[in-house]
Structure 1
Amino acid sequence: MKNAVTALLGRVEFPVLLAGLVIAGGLWGFEELMEVARSTTPHAFDTEILLAFREAGHPDSPVGPLWLEGVIRDITSLGSFVVLALITTATIVYLLLIRRWTSALLVFVSIAGGQLLSSLLKLEVDRPRPELVSHLVTETSLSFPSGHAMLSAVTYLTLGSLASRFLHGRTARIYVLALAVMTTLLVGASRVYLGVHWPSDVLAGWCAGFAWAMVCWLVARALQHRKAVEE
């Protein structure tokens, strides 16, 4: 049995194995965090982290210098629907102009599918926004999972993996993917600082977003190997 497992792992390429681990970990993490979101009282983990971003005894005053709040607002806008839609549209139009029809379709399905999945998950869990601290931006949608965190992961990882196919050299590819991950993490953290999401909302958004992005990447990779996607 051990030899069979070893032989099977030997035939699986490392990126595919890593994607599978991300998907499994993301699904497991999301399920655990969903239990936290459905609890009738906020988890200590959520409240402690949310309050850590506020001055002690002043839930309306974020920590840090005055200019930091403006910087955080700028960062969080990178995960807004409008910005992500503009980036996605520009990418799809470019792919159509260079006649990469299948790649354009895959980008649309990946990101639009992520948006639909995020909306359905919000309706399923039906968690209100935190009221423990003041909101530094106005939000009206439900809280779990964080749409900014999830859709940033889906969009930037999808576009990052697409861009890496056009780059030569391992260093350049790692840089682009690391930049996509870093942007996703910064957007998610900004939502907690602004007080519009519980930390568990953001973690769940990352879990779902990374898992969905890896599923779409595996599909694109399989189609590419079958010559269904343009090189």
Structure 2
Amino acid sequence: MLLEPSESERSIGDRDLTAWRSPAGRWLWRTFDALVRRLRNADLAALVLLGIAGALTVGATWVAGEIYEAVVAGDSVAGLDRPMLNWMVSVRTPELNAVIATFSASGGQLWMSVITGLAVTLLCLRWQRWTPLVLMVIAVTGSLAMTVTGKRLTDRARPPLTESIPPPETSASFPSGHALNSIVIAGMFCYLLVSHLSAAAARAATVTLTVLYVLAMGTSRVYLGHHWLTDVLAAWCLGVAWLTVVITCHRLWLTQHRSHSLSAR
């Protein structure tokens, strides 16, 4: 198995991931290239950039927590929480409760770890590369760091136990760990898969299923009364931000390796 990128990794359909068309993208590539030249190692440069971006993302989580507390105190966006929970409680049925509770449990630490580990192992064996493992470890590490940071900073109380479906949750409510981790993990799998799918219909189906899964997982947390709506919305925003960071760093790494290959010819 190799970490060296394959040709299939460098594009999604007709989109060349190593081509930076926007001024901001070209500036980012020049900055990364300068870092590679200074460190004389593209892999090390990518890790340094990820470390800096990770620290900034965790810091952004702290800022988001501060803004979130101000929003809750102002009762603006948070005013959606109680009406949404009331509506979710009103549509509950014993059968639906059982189905949604089982589905939501698949996004918990135990089952999500097992499912993710098996899926990553399959992709690594199938493609004969370490890329899925490396990217997933990086993505999950950042996701967990943001979850822990957000919960410790806000310490927001969950919805009342009388309105939640057992088993009860004991950690802080903000942000929703299920929603944050599911969007990061599912989003990373989606990114990996679409870069290896040649058919546009298959790529569209993969993206659609990913979005539906993420929406269903986040909504299930509100339905069960384990999180407020704003916990889930914030988790989705943080997850998208972190995915953008990881994918951008991977694109820079791909670009550097392609540039090195061309210059070596």
TM-score of the two chains, using structure 1 as the length reference: 0.76
- Cα distance change on mapping 1:146 and 1:52 into 2, 3 Å: same
1:8-47: CA deviation from partner (whole Å, max 9, x where unpaired): xx9239x99xxxxxxxxxx799569613565397932111
Higher helix share: 2
Q: Which of 199, 202, 206 is residue 236 of structure 2 equivalent to? A: 206
Task: Tell me, yes or no, if the aligned pair for 2:65 and 2:154 is still in contact at 8 Å.
Answer: no
CA contact (8 A) 2:140 2:184 kept: yes
* Cα contact 2:180–2:235 (8 A) shared by 1: yes
Query: Corresponding residue for 1:22?
Result: none
Shift in Å, 1:96: 4.3
The CA distance in 2 between the partners of 1:179 and 1:154, in whole Å, is 14
Equivalent in the alignment of 1:48: 83
Q: How many residues align?
A: 201
- Deviation of 1:226 after TM superposition, in Å, equals 2.3
Matching of residue 118 in structure 1 with residue 152 in structure 2: no
**Secondary structure class of the residue paired with 2:257:** coil
**Partner of residue 100 from structure 1, selected from 129, 149, 171:** 129
Structure 2: segments with no counterpart, 5+ residues: 1-19, 27-59, 259-265
Q: What is the rounded CA distance, in whole Å, between the counterparts of 1:75 and 1:33 in structure 2?
A: 31
Match of 1:216 among 246, 255, 261: 246
5+ residue gaps in structure 1? 1-9, 17-26, 56-62
* Greater C-alpha Rg: 2
Q: TM-score normalised to the size of structure 2?
A: 0.67
Let me know the Cα RMSD of the aligned residues.
3.0
Q: Among 67, 72, 76, which residue is 2:100 paired with?
A: 72
- How big is each residue's C-alpha offset from its partner over 1:119-145, in whole Å with a ceiling of 9 and x where there is no partner? 111111111111275210321111000
Distance 1:218 1:113 in 2: 14
Q: Percent identity?
A: 32
Distance in 2 (alpha carbons) for counterparts of 1:193 and 1:33: 25
Opposite residue 54 of structure 1, the aligned amino acid is V
Q: Conserved in 2, the CA contact under 8 Å of 1:78 and 1:187?
A: no
Q: 1:33 to 1:80 in 2, by over 3 A?
A: farther
Q: Where does 1:14-163 land on structure 2 (aligned, <5 Å)?
A: 30=64, 34-35=68-69, 39=73, 43-55=78-90, 63-97=91-125, 98-131=127-160, 133-137=162-166, 138-163=168-193
